[in-house]
Amino acid sequence: MFALPLKNFLDRHNIYYGWVMAFLAFITITFTSAALSIPQVLILPMTTSFGWQISDVTTAIGVMFLILALFAPFGGALMLRLGITKVAVTSCTLIILGLILTVNATQTWHLYFSIGVCLGIASGILGLGLAATVATRWFETRRGLVVGILTSAFAAGQLAFVPITAWLTTRFEWQFSILPILIGACLCAVLFFLFVKNWPSDLDVPPYGSDELFMPPNSSKDNPFLTSISCLIEAIKHPAFWVLAITFFICGLTSNGLISQHFIPFCSDNNIGIVVASSYLAVMGIFNFIGTMSSGWLSDRYDNYKLLAFYYGFRGLSLLYLPYSELDVFALSLWAIFFGLDFIATVPPTVRLTGKFFGPVKGPVIFGWIFASHQIGAAIAAYGAGEARDAIMTYGPIFFTAGLICFMATALIILFRASTLSTRSYSQ
């Protein structure tokens, strides 16, 4: 509606409109990430208010990650068919509905719909699909930078809103803690409706760094959903897909599933309050932002196999360290810094290796399926760690096991790299 007047204004100041698209995508992904992070803050208030167990809430979180995994491969397809605005507005609407229903839940099965279905679908159809779509359509050059910036929005959501949400739960009725994200989701929906265009050609401009105006097809002959399925069928025949999917599964298991959802309950078990615990998550979010951006820079310059092997190995050491540390300010701050640097640093090398093996056309589609494995891992950890903690009344063995699993990811990457190098040498 107001995109053209804004574009004309920016043209007078030599500012490309694609940066507006990137900004809107960034804040939308930020609020989506914040919505995904809210349940971890609400675990303790909800269990206290209703007498539920931790596993009751984390099971709903597990359902959320599972549904996210089911919808993630098709987010880009939906944007292609329906347009960016319709998908983004739908996602924001589901976030608003999911959060309102969550704070009004009175039975655990209510959470399966509010957290599991609503938030799961909202994040599944948007998430990395929005980042890839905006970067690919609007930027010919600086595309890697834009992807890195938009990926870091996931860290920004956690950094900005987890501490705020936790503070609100201690100052007011815990149900009011969702207000900042509700307002943000409404704002994003309005901004997308007013300023977003699907393609640069809608404003008669080429992609950034290109001199040619790209005219998208009026309609796609191929069903995007069938295309996504066909890419999966092709990918599963390649060992690289399984290596990347398994290791990214472990990434989701240990990051979004375990730490994001269970760190605050872990701190509570060790007499650390919710506000203090969330402050460590905020520190982690700061260094997550730095680590993701740095990993993107490193992935352009160094061996991506070695980067991934290092990231998973370092993550394993961090998980082994946490439950057996002193759990004082120094120990937890140190852990938050190092785990934060590693949290989603795995994304840029995984994306680059996916593109290396499957090409620029099919690679992004296949990465959607690899990302789905990440969310399945998150779902299993969110549910399984909650059940295990309720059974053994401690997180220590859970974190220890997760650390060992990370070492398995490191070993798998090293072995696969060795096999690819030997195959290359043999073929030569």
Per-residue pLDDT reduced to its tens digit, 9-66 = 988 888 899 899 999 999 999 888 888 878 877 877 888 888 888 777 878 888 888 8
Residue type, 119: L
Whether 327 has a pLDDT exceeding 90, the answer reads no
Whether 75 has a pLDDT exceeding 70, the answer reads yes
Q: Which residues pair with 248 in a beta bridge?
A: none
Residue 294 to residues 83, 141, 252, 300, 354, Cα–Cα distance (Å):
32, 19, 20, 10, 19
Taking only the tens place, the pLDDT of each residue in 141-152 is: 776 677 778 877
For residue 215, being part of any structural domain is answered with no
Here the CATH number for the domain that contains residue 169 is 1.20.1250.20
Residue 344 to residues 260, 269, 328, 411, Cα–Cα distance (Å):
12, 26, 25, 19
Cα 308 from Cα 310, distance rounded (Å)? 5
- Note the Cα 73 to chain centre separation in Å: 13
For residue 427, being part of any structural domain is answered with no
Both tokens of 217, joined, read: 């097809």
Residue 224 binned pLDDT confidence (cut-offs 50, 70, 90): low
For residue 176, being part of any structural domain is answered with yes
For residue 303, being part of any structural domain is answered with yes
Residue numbers of the domain that contains 330: 3-201+226-422
Residue 427 binned pLDDT confidence (cut-offs 50, 70, 90): very low
Cα 213 from Cα 205, distance rounded (Å)? 6
Whether 217 has a pLDDT exceeding 70, the answer reads no
For residue 409, being part of any structural domain is answered with yes
Res 219: pLDDT: 47
For residue 262, being part of any structural domain is answered with yes
More confident: 1 or 78: 78
Alpha helices (H) along 172-238: 179-195, 224-235
Contact 2, 195 (CB under 8 A): yes
For residue 286, being part of any structural domain is answered with yes
Taking only the tens place, the pLDDT of each residue in 79-106 is: 777 888 898 999 999 999 999 998 888 8
For residue 351, being part of any structural domain is answered with yes
Per the structure, the count of domains in the chain is 1
